[in-house]
Chains A and B, each alone.
Chain A
Amino acid sequence: MSTQFVQAVWGGVLFGSVYGLMALGLTLVWGAVRLLNLAHGALFVVGAYAAYWVVSFLHLPILVALPFGVLAAAAFAYLMHIIFIRPVIGKPGFDNSTLVATVGISIAVSAAALLIFNPQYKVVPPVLSGSTIVAGVQITYQGLLVIGTSLALFAIVYAFLTYTRLGMAIRAVSQQTEAASLMSIPVVQTYGIVIAISGGLAGLAGVLLSPSFFLSPNSGFNPMIQALIVTIFGGLGSVRGALVAGFVLGVFESFVEVFYGVGWAQPGVFILIILMLIVRPNGLFGIGEVKRL
């Protein structure tokens, strides 16, 4: 097996896990709240910087910083829900307001990160360091951790949604909001929970990924764009769609990059998604649009 091929596969699986992780939160929120959260990248940044702060200023190990980052991002997301999303739920201007509000929050978070920490790239220590060589390709242990965590999280989230009372409530709210409230499910409260969970997921992605890509105030933007692409490709609101699409796009991008060069990766993905939107606008596993509140 050629080194290039292995490199492409490794890159693809790694990218795929990363994209999937980012997309998972985004798709959950869309499914439940019908909210396009353009502050998702900001949550990534909040998680990463929170972990960095714990490591650099509190001098605690990364294993402590990691859950801290996740919780910080989840809390921030919940706060965002309370202040900026809850007030406009059910109102006709919801889409406009939340679009602008999440963009504004995104910018504000970037700026705050810039002011609190400086613009220089920060180094967030990996949870696992070191690597090994397989078929001539460097396989980092942190990379394996990312892949493992991503797959584990998908499994956990899937189980949560399928078998737990709260998870089923979230699915119910996503599919038929009025009926859900008739089942005595507190819909708005459920929204808040989903948003907090998605924040936590984004924060986790932030903490795990930052060691591989240097952390700066604008680090959240690209992962969010990728997440958006994956979410749409996989089907808005579909968890398994996010997983599959993440890997499909990750592998595709990796192969294009390895065999055709970096410059073609983005346009390649762009073309792929346009094709998908033409052939099958709902994405891989998208269901038709269902009634919202």
Chain B
Amino acid sequence: MSVGGVVTAAPSRPEVDYAAAPWQRVPIYVIGGTVVAGILLPLVLTRISIGDYLITLLILFFMQAVVAQSWNLIMGYGGIYSFAQVALFAVGGWTTAVLAHSLGWNPFIAMLFAPVVALLAAVGIGLPTLRLRGVYVVLLTLAFHELARVFAVTGPRFISGGGYGLVSVPTFQFGNVIGQQRTIYLYYLAMVIFVIATFVIWRVIHSPLGVAVTALRDSETYGVSRGINQFRIRLILFAISAFFTGLAGGYMTHYNGGISTSVFDFSRLIDLLAMIVIGGWGTFAGPILGAAIIIGLDQYLVAIGDYRALFEGLILAVIAVFAPQGLWPVIRKTYDKYLGPEQQPAPAPASAAAHAETRNEDLK
């Protein structure tokens, strides 16, 4: 495994390509099976009475999972404490809404612009912000969130729709299809977006960029000493994260037929945070798992009304302190222990080298 090259051979860029493609890590039949299941699922669900509701839940899951993964990419992997995720989602959503609503563009075309504008906005925020340390990023992204919210509420009419957001935005049209069949097409569109986003994020995490980011996150001194340009990497991650988040925002706008300022509510941010924290901070599958849990529990969560925020807040705090690794690593360990084949222990060269660095400093 060339991962060892990070420590010993000292190349100027870490090399990892063995796991760049998912099918080299996870057995291909698992991936293939999941995809096929995903394709067949709505056809099965339409046969049962609550099937339609479940399909809409799945659509919601796909979109939330995309945003959660995107946020986890910068926060969990990149160590960038950004609170602009929801605002970027809104930027994407508003872009496509305005294009479709005011300019009359076809939703499919308009949606393609959502990620682009979100990416531009992210680069705009990122340039001054990402050079700075953690706490400043928190502040500036929170400030951006507020600014975006205020702008959406009080901005010019074609954006703010008088303070409530834009309603009666054209929705996706699949020919003349309506009803259940249309829902199924919406599902497939959402699924495609989810698959693309998941695949790209996987590639990024397992690419030299991803390894560099993890190295930086674990030990800044080590990463910098290896010639890794922290700012550029953070900016790239931030842009990728914004791209898919904006895309999700664009999809949801046309799915819902509008976008309202309630999208800025902190409860949305908390839900996303909960997905990442409960699922597994800084892991690949964690946010997906977390999204599945939160969306899956959605009906029950709505039922408890105002208690929802109370529980979510407490659970977030408790998990962050007492089980910070989240659920996914636990599941993974259990699987490996009882069901998995004999595996070679995966070395963690970046962290070990980082500790070596610190140790050498302390020995003097």
Chains A and B directly touch (beta carbon < 8 Å): yes
Chain A interface residues toward B at CB < 8 A: 30, 36, 38, 83-84, 87-88, 93, 95-112, 114-115, 221, 225, 228-229, 232, 236, 263, 266-267, 270, 273-274, 277-278, 281
A115-B142 Cα distance, complex, nearest whole Å: 26
Q: In the complex, are the beta carbons of B317 and A105 less than 8 A apart?
A: yes
Q: A93: shortest Cβ distance to chain B, in Å?
A: 5
Collect the chain A residues with CB atoms within 8 Å of residue B270's CB.
Answer: 103-104, 107
Collect the chain A residues with CB atoms within 8 Å of residue B322's CB.
Answer: 87
A24-B154 Cα distance, complex, nearest whole Å: 32
* A-B residue pairs in contact (CB < 8 Å), sample of 20: A36-B134, A36-B138, A38-B138, A96-B320, A99-B138, A101-B316, A104-B315, A104-B320, A107-B316, A108-B309, A111-B308, A111-B309, A111-B310, A225-B142, A229-B143, A232-B139, A236-B135, A266-B150, A273-B143, A274-B140
Q: A94: shortest Cβ distance to chain B, in Å?
A: 10
A108-B273 Cα distance, complex, nearest whole Å: 14
Q: A145: shortest Cβ distance to chain B, in Å?
A: 29
Q: In the complex, are the beta carbons of A270 and B143 less than 8 A apart?
A: yes
A111-B315 Cα distance, complex, nearest whole Å: 13
Collect the chain A residues with CB atoms within 8 Å of residue B146's CB.
Answer: 225, 266
Q: Which of A101, A108, A232, A274 contacts B320 (CB 8 A)?
A: A101
Q: A28: shortest Cβ distance to chain B, in Å?
A: 15
A104-B320 Cα distance, complex, nearest whole Å: 9
Majority DSSP secondary structure for residues of A touching B: helix
Collect the chain B residues with CB atoms within 8 Å of residue A115's CB.
Answer: 306-307, 310
- 306-329 of chain B: CB within 8 A of chain A: 306-310, 312-322, 324
Q: B97: shortest Cβ distance to chain A, in Å?
A: 22
Q: Which 3 residue pairs across A and B have the least CB separation, nearest first? A: A108-B313, A104-B316, A107-B313
Q: Which of B132, B142, B314 contacts A108 (CB 8 A)?
A: B314
Q: In the complex, are the beta carbons of A100 and B320 less than 8 A apart?
A: yes
A273-B139 Cα distance, complex, nearest whole Å: 10
A202-B314 Cα distance, complex, nearest whole Å: 21
Does B222 count as interface, using CB distance less than 8 angstroms? no
Collect the chain A residues with CB atoms within 8 Å of residue B319's CB.
Answer: 100
Q: Which residue from chain B places its CB closest to the CB of A114 in the assembled complex?
A: B306
Collect the chain A residues with CB atoms within 8 Å of residue B314's CB.
Answer: 104, 108
Collect the chain B residues with CB atoms within 8 Å of residue A104's CB.
Answer: 270, 312-318, 320
Collect the chain B residues with CB atoms within 8 Å of residue A101's CB.
Answer: 316-317, 320-321
Does B61 count as interface, using CB distance less than 8 angstroms? no
Collect the chain A residues with CB atoms within 8 Å of residue B138's CB.
Answer: 36, 38, 99, 228
Q: Which of A95, A97, A274 contacts B321 (CB 8 A)?
A: A97
A87-B319 Cα distance, complex, nearest whole Å: 12
Does B128 count as interface, using CB distance less than 8 angstroms? yes
Q: In the complex, are the beta carbons of A281 and B313 less than 8 A apart?
A: no
A278-B132 Cα distance, complex, nearest whole Å: 9
A30-B319 Cα distance, complex, nearest whole Å: 23
Q: In the complex, are the beta carbons of B128 and A277 less than 8 A apart?
A: yes
Q: A261: shortest Cβ distance to chain B, in Å?
A: 11
Q: In the complex, are the beta carbons of B313 and A95 less than 8 A apart?
A: no
A225-B143 Cα distance, complex, nearest whole Å: 8
Q: Which residue from chain B places its CB closest to the CB of A278 in the assembled complex?
A: B128
